[in-house]
Amino acid sequence: MYDLDGETAIVTGAAQGFGKAIAELLAEAGANVVLADVQMEKAEDVAAGIRDDGGEAMVVECDVTDVDHTDALVEQTCDRYGSLEVLVNNAGGGGGGTFTDLSPEEWRRVVSLNLDGTFNCSYSAVPKMLEHGNGRIVNISSMAGRNVTLNGNANYTASKWGVIGLSKHLARDLGPDVRANAVCPGGGPDSPMGRGIQAEDVAKTVLYLSTEISSFVTGTLVEVDGGGQLTPSASN
């Protein structure tokens, strides 16, 4: 049911964390996986592990805040594998503190990475997806995009809200040829599920949204937080 055999997926920020787990699971489902990151050594280790398990993977150094980099990422992907079916916009980051601690430079750094990076990769990938008419974009937002982060700053919250809005516009403007959805991870160990979130929880949701089993799902978001929003003390 979760078959990506012969298809190609780009995963940004794939060197660690959610991105690593996503790349590994998509490869397990049969996809050719392109790991895009600035941490080349870590990304190469992930790709080597995928190959050792019988999968197909390559690494492309990519700063998602630079559209020239994302154009090159898509070009190298299609040169190697011939097409691009799945894009997972996972690269992101944030910082702590409150609004009064936030400088314009730090605002721009996080918004550029989380929101501009998602736009840049989508902008570069969409023309290739429209060529075959079966594209899937999965954007990693956050439960901070549903309310407000307790662990980061306003730049992180604002950018993750923006990712959700961008996902909905992509779905509206590109359907039926491209489906676009957002995933909102969150949830601490005091959630109703009795544990905190794990990278595999996010990866499984991305796999669902990347395959034909979710063929009528677009323009929505999936909260992966163990019901954490039901616990007032949960940190999402």
Q: Is 45 exposed, middle or buried (0-12, 13-18, 19+ CB in 10 A)?
A: middle
Question: For residues 106 and 93, what is the distance between their CA atoms, to the nearest angstrom?
Answer: 11
- Residue 25 main-chain phi, psi, to 5 deg: -75, -40
Question: For residues 43 and 63, what is the distance between their CA atoms, to the nearest angstrom?
Answer: 13
Q: What angle do CA 166, 211, 84 make, to 5 degrees?
A: 70
Question: For residues 217 and 19, what is the distance between their CA atoms, to the nearest angstrom?
Answer: 22
Q: Is 156 a catalytic residue?
A: yes
Of 2, 81, 123, 156, which is the active-site residue? 156
Cβ pair 166, 119 in contact under 8 A = yes
Positions marked catalytic? 156
